[in-house]
């Protein structure tokens, strides 16, 4: 079922519900750190291959969590913009201790 969301505030509870397993959140968290690492390398070196590495690492870790741990489809497939925002909001919440990942 494809839900409609008027804004990100409506979307975020759905996003979090798609990440019930703490290990799915952990794979997102790891992927986000790799994304940041490769983006930093892009800025330091100017080599655009690091953009590809960042996207592959970020999505790869997250999608692994969805397909093999959570056993659902990533929200990115239906809501790419809100999902990107949701990932960084969840990342910041993990850093602040709101979500347990280990």
What is the pTM for the complete model shown? 0.93
- Give domain status of residue 3, yes or no: no
Number of domains in the chain: 1
DSSP for 3-72 reads: ---SSHHHHHHHHHHTT-SHHHHHHHHHHHHHHHHHHHHHHHH--THHHHHHHHHHHHHHHHIIIIII-S
- Give domain status of residue 77, yes or no: yes
Residue 99 DSSP class? S
- Give domain status of residue 21, yes or no: yes
- Give domain status of residue 1, yes or no: no
The pLDDT tens digits of the residues spanning 34-93 come to 999 999 999 999 999 999 999 999 999 999 999 999 999 999 999 999 999 999 999 999
Q: Quote the domain boundaries for residue 18.
A: 9-95
The CB density around residue 22, as the number of other CB atoms within 10 Å, is: 14
- Give domain status of residue 35, yes or no: yes
pLDDT band (50, 70, 90) for residue 100: very high
- Give domain status of residue 14, yes or no: yes
């Amino acid at each position: 079922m494809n839900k409609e969301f008027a804004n990100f505030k409506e979307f975020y509870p759905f996003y979090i519900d798609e990440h019930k397993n703490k290990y799915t959140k952990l794979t997102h968290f790891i992927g986000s750190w790799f994304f940041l690492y490769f983006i930093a390398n892009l800025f330091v070196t100017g080599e655009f291959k690091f953009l590809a590495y960042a996207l592959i690492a970020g999505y790869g870790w997250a999608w692994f969590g969805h397909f093999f741990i959570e056993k659902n489809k990533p929200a990115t497939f239906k809501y790419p913009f809100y999902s990107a925002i949701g990932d960084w909001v969840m990342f910041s919440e993990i850093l602040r201790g709101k979500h347990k990942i280990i």
